[in-house]
A and B are shown apart, each in its own frame.
Chain A
Amino acid sequence: MSDDTAAVIVKSPKGFTDHKVGHHFQTADQEFSSAYIGTWLFLAQEVLFFSALFVAYAMFRNLYPEVFAYGSSVLDWKLGAVNTLVLLFSSFTMAMGIRSVQTNKMKAAFIFLSFTFICGLIFMTVKYFEYAHKIAEGTLPYDFFNSEISLETFSNVAGIENLPLFYGLYFVFTGIHGIHVLIGMGLIMWMIVKVRRKTLFAGYYTPVEMIGLYWHLVDVVWIFLFPLLYLV
């Protein structure tokens, strides 16, 4: 029986560090599928987590369609479109990064993951300028709303006094999404370090695959957010 307790080792190519499979797993495959199923369970939970915000959006849009039409026409759709393209590109580089790890191309993996990180950085920078602009204009949620100008100029829009509601949704939606992007950036930085230290290779790429799935989900949420907030 003593042989059963010996750790399973995934042999790595020369220059890499071998991966020791967790002692509670029997095989490397079992370890991978556990992480895989757990990650998808987490992603399903994330969908439900964001669904609360989508429901709030659906209800208030249904109640005040004119306010939402006005609110989204005020947002800068060009910045939103740039951010969409940046996130789509980062998803592409993430997928390529994982593929590079799977094929032991560590230099390419490093470059692709760095690009993904930089894309996240660009996304957050654009977001920062959008937020700064809104704070300067006073188009903020609830009691913080102090932009008399837009309410007076557009008093012909029915129910315009509910405009702060739109900005409430805008800030909570993009804020929570932004926090996800920041967390993703931190995780990708961790993966870049792992790639540099050569602890990931074709036989063991579990963390980078799981973080990739998470990053794609963040992209998926933005794919819906962009038209809902900026366009329609």
Chain B
Amino acid sequence: MSEHKIIPIKYYLGVFSALVLLTIITVYTAKFVDLGSLNFVLAMFIALVKVTLVGSIFMGLLWEKNLFPLIFLAFSFIIFALFVSVSVLDTSSRSSLYAIESIYNRNDSRTPIKIDREGLLSENDGKIFRPRSEIIELKEQIQRDGIEAVLKEIQEKKEAQNKEAPE
């Protein structure tokens, strides 16, 4: 393997100590420093730096003349970015589709049972979310009393819950 360089040990030692240091920084900033949503960005940035170090030194891409690894990786990461960005765009803009997101009286409105503008109830198959009987009951209630009455009742329940909850 004529073009394959033997990489000096100091590179491996340096990268290993850098990785340990970066791990300590990740844990410290995530657990003991509150930066709000920046915590997530910082943790991901540090992870990216660590991965770059592993890829370029441990995997030897820094000295590699063969371009195939980089082409394959670029392909993978472009597709990966596409997957994540499209999915996140979807989930973060979905709420506007529904008149009421939750039939439940939590302050938060992101439970998976949803009533759309037409008054139709969509349900998640997973049993963990809500008992099926409750969903069927609500469907019947909507058919009996009409969507407006049901929405109003839910709204009142929510407001009552909000009053009870300490500020």
B79 and A232 contact, CB distance less than 8 A: no
How many chain B residues have a CB neighbour from A under 8 Å?
A: 58
Given contacts A47-B73, A232-B39, contact A81 B23 (CB under 8 A): yes
Expressed in whole angstroms, the minimum distance between the Cβ of B138 and any Cβ of chain A is: 16
Closest to A219 in B: B54
Expressed in whole angstroms, the minimum distance between the Cβ of B88 and any Cβ of chain A is: 5
B59 and A213 contact, CB distance less than 8 A: yes
Tell me what chain B mostly uses at the interface: helix, strand, loop, or mixed.
helix
Tell me what chain A mostly uses at the interface: helix, strand, loop, or mixed.
helix
Contact of B6 (CB < 8 Å), options: A55, A103, A231: A103
B23 and A216 contact, CB distance less than 8 A: no
CB neighbours (8 Å) of A224 from chain B are: 44, 47, 51
Contact with A along B1-23 (1 / 0, CB 8 A): 11010110100110110011001
B43 and A227 contact, CB distance less than 8 A: yes
Complex CA gap A95/B55 in Å reads 11
Counting contact residues on chain A (CB < 8 A from B), the size range is 35 or more
CB neighbours (8 Å) of B91 from chain A are: 59, 62-63
Contact of B106 (CB < 8 Å), options: A33, A44, A145, A159: A159
Given contacts A77-B27, A102-B6, A161-B128, contact A44 B110 (CB under 8 A): no
B9 and A32 contact, CB distance less than 8 A: no
A66 and B9 contact, CB distance less than 8 A: no
B79 and A54 contact, CB distance less than 8 A: no
CB neighbours (8 Å) of A94 from chain B are: 58
A231 and B30 contact, CB distance less than 8 A: yes
B20 and A159 contact, CB distance less than 8 A: no
CB neighbours (8 Å) of B47 from chain A are: 223-224, 227
Complex CA gap A209/B10 in Å reads 19
Contact of A43 (CB < 8 Å), options: B13, B27, B66, B72: B72
Contact of A51 (CB < 8 Å), options: B12, B43, B80: B80
In the assembled complex, A177 has its CB within 8 A of some CB on chain B = no
In the assembled complex, A91 has its CB within 8 A of some CB on chain B = yes
Chain A: residues with CB nearer than 8 A to chain B?
Answer: 28-29, 32-33, 36-37, 40-41, 43-45, 47-48, 51-52, 54-55, 58-59, 62-64, 66, 77, 81, 84-85, 88-89, 91-92, 94-96, 99, 102-103, 142-143, 145, 158-159, 161-162, 164-165, 203, 212-213, 216, 219-220, 223-224, 226-228, 231-232
24 pairs from A and B in contact (CB 8 Å cutoff): A33-B66, A37-B66, A43-B73, A47-B73, A47-B80, A51-B80, A55-B83, A55-B87, A58-B84, A77-B31, A81-B27, A88-B16, A95-B12, A95-B57, A96-B12, A158-B107, A158-B108, A161-B129, A162-B111, A220-B55, A223-B50, A223-B54, A226-B26, A232-B43
Can you list the 6 inter-chain pairs with the closest CB atoms, starting with the nearest? A158-B108, A44-B72, A231-B30, A227-B43, A47-B76, A92-B16
